A = this chain, B = another copy of it.
Amino acid sequence: MDTSIEKWDFFELELTGPKGGNPFVDVRFGAAFRQGHRCVEVDGFYDGDGAYRVRFMPDTEGEWTCETCSNRAELAGRKASFRCVSPGPGNHGPVLVSNRFHFAHADGTPHKSVGTTCYAWVHQGDALEEQTLATLRQAPFNKLRFCVFPKDYDYNRNDPERYPFVKAPPAEGERYGWDFTRFDPAFWRHFERRVGQLRDLGIEADIIVFHPYDRWGFARMPSEADDRYIRYLIARLAAFRNVWWSMANEYDFMQGKSAADWDRYFALFQRLDPYGRLRSIHNGHRFYDHARGWVTHASVQHSDLGKVPEWRAQYGKPVVVDECCYEGNNRHCWGNITGEELTRRCWRGCVGGGYVGHGETYVNPEEILWWSKGGRLVGSSPARIAFLRKVLEEGPAEGLEPCASRVVPAACEGCGCVGDGYFLAYFGIHQPASVQVHLPPGKRYRIEAIDTWNMTVQPVREAAEGSLEIELPGRPYIAVRIVARRP
CB distance from A247 to the nearest CB of B (A): 28
Contacts A331-B410, A331-B469, A469-B331: A432 and B336 contacting too (C-beta < 8 A)? yes
Inter-chain contact A433/B337, CB cutoff 8 Å? no
Most buried by B among A331, A341, A427, A469: A331
- Whether a CB of chain B sits under 8 angstroms from the CB of A156 is no
Inter-chain contact A333/B412, CB cutoff 8 Å? yes
Q: Which residues of B contact A429 (CB under 8 A)?
A: 337-338, 340-341
- Whether a CB of chain B sits under 8 angstroms from the CB of A430 is yes
Q: Which residues of B contact A341 (CB under 8 A)?
A: 429
Inter-chain contact A412/B469, CB cutoff 8 Å? no
CB distance from A334 to the nearest CB of B (A): 9
Instruction: Fill in one digit per residue for A326-349: 1 if any B CB lies within 8 Å of its CB, else 0.
Output: 001111110011101100000000
**Bound: A42/B431 CA distance, A:** 50
CB distance from A21 to the nearest CB of B (A): 51
Instruction: Fill in one digit per residue for A376-416: 1 if any B CB lies within 8 Å of its CB, else 0.
Output: 00000000000000000000000000000000001010000
Instruction: Fill in one digit per residue for A427-441: 1 if any B CB lies within 8 Å of its CB, else 0.
Output: 101111111100000
Contacts A338-B429, A412-B336: A331 and B476 contacting too (C-beta < 8 A)? no
Q: Which residues of B contact A330 (CB under 8 A)?
A: 432-433
- Whether a CB of chain B sits under 8 angstroms from the CB of A50 is no
Inter-chain contact B430/A333, CB cutoff 8 Å? yes
Q: Which residues of B contact A476 (CB under 8 A)?
A: 338
- Whether a CB of chain B sits under 8 angstroms from the CB of A77 is no
- Whether a CB of chain B sits under 8 angstroms from the CB of A419 is no
CB distance from A329 to the nearest CB of B (A): 4
**Bound: A329/B434 CA distance, A:** 8
Inter-chain contact A331/B430, CB cutoff 8 Å? no
Inter-chain contact A431/B338, CB cutoff 8 Å? yes
Inter-chain contact B363/A329, CB cutoff 8 Å? no
CB distance from A240 to the nearest CB of B (A): 37
Tell me the nearest residue of chain B to A334, going by C-beta: B412
- Whether a CB of chain B sits under 8 angstroms from the CB of A217 is no
- Whether a CB of chain B sits under 8 angstroms from the CB of A474 is yes
A contact set with B: CB distance below 8 Å: 328-333, 336-338, 340-341, 363, 410, 412, 427, 429-436, 469, 474, 476
A-B contact list, 19 entries, CB within 8 Å: A328-B431, A329-B431, A329-B432, A329-B433, A329-B474, A331-B410, A331-B433, A331-B434, A331-B435, A336-B412, A336-B427, A336-B430, A336-B431, A337-B430, A337-B431, A338-B431, A338-B476, A363-B433, A363-B434
Given contacts A328-B431, A329-B431, A332-B432, 11 further A-B contacts (CB under 8 A): A329-B432, A330-B432, A331-B410, A331-B432, A331-B433, A332-B410, A336-B433, A337-B431, A338-B429, A338-B476, A363-B433
